Structure 1
Amino acid sequence: MHSQNRNTLTLWLSLSCAALLVACGGGGSHKDARVRLLNASADLSSADLFVENGKLASSIAARSVSAYADRGPGGLSLQIRSSGDGATVASSPATLKDQTHYTVIAYGRTGAIRTSLLQEDQEAPPSGQSKLMVLNLAPEAGALDVFVTAPDASLAGATPFATNLAGGAGSGYLTRNSGSFRVRVTGTGRTDDLRLDLADLKLDSGAVTTLVLTGGSGGVLVHGLTLAQRGEAVRRDNPMARVRLVAAMAGGRVDGSIGERKLLDAAAAPVIGDYTQVPAAASALRTSLDGQETVRTLPAMTAGGDYTLLLRGPASSATLDVLTDKNRPPAQAGQARLRLVNGLAQPVSLNFNYSPLAGAISPGAAGGGTVTATTSALLTVTATQSAAALHTEPSFAALADGVYTVFMLGGDGTARGVVRRER
């Protein structure tokens, strides 16, 4: 089992004792602990909770919580199992106290599922106040800042509710006035790097609430989930997706937009646009290639996902390919993720340190894999049919946890590669 899975009680280390370890309420007349499962992993479609090989929760869907089950106190082993095949995906020790409520939280992605143990016996705050804790259970998103403000407040000069919140860490419970608030989550130190915007988080008088941040499929945006102490879990999904427009053709001017969001503005092709957030429900892309305007239908996008919209071919008959981008760092330490997006008219192959990484990548497609991190490697892109070198990087640095994309752009006679570091 991966070492991350063995070190799963992250919250016992990262949150204050006041947040998790002080029992401040009764659990009923019985002497058992009360335990439930919150499945906060989108990659784990259905999960079971076992304690000492006894099943306490069954078939808990992603981003939902089970009912409580009773379990005798003491030092125990917790296991998260996939409901489909019964495979254990995470295991951790825990010491449960009698008359105490716990939520076991499963989070993370395939190959790196982790658990945290949340004790739910916080003393209720005074009337007119509310307690809130934020947990960053989206480790692939990196460190995050969280702002809890009035609905119309600017982030300029705002003080974060929690700052530099690493994956697996939490803010501890903080008391503030009750009411309705806007929650914005950003990359640490960058208020322009918005990852989630919740317009109406309601904190009731006397309530204790945990806001759980979970990872989006693209690896950058995050979703929210509110967990009331000993109460229900409510999904607060991010409605946005990140898209970028890439014009691979050799020459011409390109405009592109989705609704009011501009993706490219009279850019000279070939060109790679930056990621822009758009509603995931958006259904149309408007482009102009050398003044020839076209409205193209988009396939359904997953909220929280990343996408490359690839335009290739002559301006008069350009083809649009919609590629799903996985910008999550590799699950295994010491690795980097490398892929190629083929904007040419012929198949190409991607090679890393003289070994094939992805072969015969079709026009309009992407392919790649993970590689051992290194500061200097030979990266080549070759024409699949002739093995002719189309692009070479003699000293390519693939840093640990990095995500890289090689774009092949231009016409077959003028092909060139451009490397982007995504993470």
Structure 2
Amino acid sequence: MRLLERLPLSRLVLMATVATALTACGSGSEDDARLRLLNASPDLGTVDLTSDKDELSRNVATLSLGEYGGRKAGVATLQVRGASGGATLASLPVTLAKDTRYTLIAYGGSGRAQTMLLQEDQTEPASGQSKLMVMNLAPDAGKLRVFVTAPDTVLNDAQAFGGREIDGGQSTGYVTQTAGRYRIRVTDADRREDLRLDLPAVELASGKVATLILRGSGSGMLVHGLMLEQRGALTRLDNTMARVRLVTAFASGGVHATLDGQSLMSFGTVSPTIGEYRLVRSGAQDLNGFAGGFPFSHSFSSFAPGGDYTVLMRGEISAPTISLMSDDNRLPATAGQARLRLLNGLSQALTLNLNYSQVASSVAPGSYGSGTFTPSASSLLTVSGPGSPTPLYKNDSFASQANGLYTVLMLGSDAQPQGILRKDR
């Protein structure tokens, strides 16, 4: 039987966004607060934690945990910066309690670092019980639901952990439950079939308190895990999967394709078409199938864990050109902005324009071009080719929203191009 402790989130975590920093490693008296730094970002490099002149955690590498340092209790400003006097990344004003331990978690991408302060003062559960809290520190992934179940539980029959969805910067609160081995799955808040992380065997130890931190991936959609034991060690729980979709740009013809045993496009699908993302194992994989009745195969050297990819097939259907493109599905770095990109499935370089201004120019065949813009209720969106006064694609009432991600896919042939506008976020 589970017991959800209704503790105020402010007592569990304090959150902050970009600001200033410095760092180090102090000792202090027994009444001091003790702080350490968890570097949960793959993009910040090695970082330090300081407060005023106190050095708390030094040279904390990517995805690792620093040592505790002492800081006088009371009002303080915690600062994260690049190691050895590097640039300030973030700062957080706090009030520290004496004889209390904390972990400051640094996360987010370069140029948009954020912090979360975890107060490590939870009462340990009784023997045979465990406490777990899940934090969503993957803001690009959006709202998520977490399911902590027996290994063989069907996801549709499971109840969300903590009874709620968690947006970026939020947590479930601590839940007390029987210690043991569990399967932990993370999905989109609204679509359980949209699986973002699957950890098949996670041990929740008897009498222990732990926090599962969900951190972002390079694609923005899949997430990785970090399990932090209260006042204890850190364990990496990396995603082993990637997401792949197939886009066919042929002007006509049926296509069927499989990758890692997953059907990327089923029999009867007619090109041009845009497939849905499918989960596949990371690493080297082979693509096999038929296009226009002609068999094809292609080997890919490596799909990175947590990555999103588009496989683009274009050119002659009897001898297709196959390109692999890495998809950046993250939100705009600046809140209130939107992202716009062009996928070029034709055989000529293309330019993407918004209200007569170039968003991406000279986008080569089989590649992306992208940019950031201020969204509006109606804009002129065009795609043009070299030396042609007439746009190959035109939308004179393009409506966009803040934090959206939009893609124009140019498919078909140069003689008969077909532009398709997709809202990906």
> Fold match, TM over 0.5?
yes
SS for the counterpart of 2:402 is: coil
Partner of 1:286: 288
Q: Are 2:197 and 1:196 equivalent residues in the alignment?
A: yes
Checking the alignment, whether the CA contact within 8 Å between 1:241 and 1:304 is kept in structure 2 is yes
- Aligned partners of 1:14, 1:79: CA distance in 2, in Å? 25
Deviation at 1:377, TM superposition (A): 0.7
Partner of 2:218: 217
Instruction: Identify if the C-alpha distance between structure 1 residues 290 and 85 changes in structure 2 by more than 3 Å, giving closer, same or farther.
Output: farther
Deviation at 1:53, TM superposition (A): 4.8
Partner of 2:126: 126
- Aligned partners of 2:80, 2:389: CA distance in 1, in Å? 47
Q: Are 2:385 and 1:383 equivalent residues in the alignment?
A: yes
Partner of 1:361: 363
Checking the alignment, whether the CA contact within 8 Å between 1:343 and 1:410 is kept in structure 2 is yes
Deviation at 1:342, TM superposition (A): 0.3
Partner of 1:338: 340
Deviation at 1:28, TM superposition (A): 11
Instruction: Identify if the C-alpha distance between structure 1 residues 20 and 393 changes in structure 2 by more than 3 Å, giving closer, same or farther.
Output: closer
SS for the counterpart of 1:50 is: strand
Partner of 1:329: 331
- Aligned partners of 1:84, 1:32: CA distance in 2, in Å? 25
Deviation at 1:299, TM superposition (A): 3.3
Aligned AA (2:211) = T
Deviation at 1:355, TM superposition (A): 0.5
Deviation at 1:186, TM superposition (A): 0.9
Instruction: Identify if the C-alpha distance between structure 1 residues 242 and 377 changes in structure 2 by more than 3 Å, giving closer, same or farther.
Output: same
Aligned AA (2:390) = A
TM-score, reference length from structure 2: 0.92
Q: Deviations over 1:388-422 (max 9, x none)?
A: 31000111112101011110001100001001111
Partner of 2:236: 235
Aligned AA (2:406) = Y
Q: Deviations over 1:262-317 (max 9, x none)?
A: 00113111111111111111421113212222221113222111111111110222
Q: Deviations over 1:306-358 (max 9, x none)?
A: 11111111022211111111111102121100000000000010001110111
TM-score, reference length from structure 1: 0.92
Partner of 1:9: none
Q: Deviations over 1:179-209 (max 9, x none)?
A: 0001111111321111111111111110001
Aligned AA (2:310) = T
1:15 is aligned, of 9, 12, 20, to 9
Partner of 2:165: 164
| Runs of 4+ displaced beyond 6 Å | none
Instruction: Identify if the C-alpha distance between structure 1 residues 113 and 14 changes in structure 2 by more than 3 Å, giving closer, same or farther.
Output: farther
Instruction: Identify if the C-alpha distance between structure 1 residues 405 and 14 changes in structure 2 by more than 3 Å, giving closer, same or farther.
Output: farther
2:352 is aligned, of 350, 353, 370, to 350
Q: Which residues of structure 1 form unaligned runs of 5+?
A: 1-12, 22-26
- Aligned partners of 1:57, 1:282: CA distance in 2, in Å? 38
Q: Which residues of structure 2 form unaligned runs of 5+?
A: 1-6, 15-26
Deviation at 1:85, TM superposition (A): 7.5
Partner of 1:30: 30
Checking the alignment, whether the CA contact within 8 Å between 2:54 and 2:71 is kept in structure 1 is no
Aligned AA (1:141) = A
- Aligned partners of 1:239, 1:28: CA distance in 2, in Å? 42
Q: Are 2:131 and 1:136 equivalent residues in the alignment?
A: no
- Aligned partners of 2:84, 2:171: CA distance in 1, in Å? 31
Q: Are 2:148 and 1:154 equivalent residues in the alignment?
A: no
Checking the alignment, whether the CA contact within 8 Å between 2:260 and 2:285 is kept in structure 1 is no
Partner of 2:372: 370
- Aligned partners of 1:135, 1:154: CA distance in 2, in Å? 23
- Aligned partners of 1:321, 1:308: CA distance in 2, in Å? 8
Instruction: Identify if the C-alpha distance between structure 1 residues 84 and 254 changes in structure 2 by more than 3 Å, giving closer, same or farther.
Output: farther
> CA RMSD, aligned part only?
1.9
Partner of 2:3: none
Aligned AA (1:39) = N
Deviation at 1:145, TM superposition (A): 0.8
Q: Deviations over 1:125-163 (max 9, x none)?
A: 001100100001111111111111001001223211132
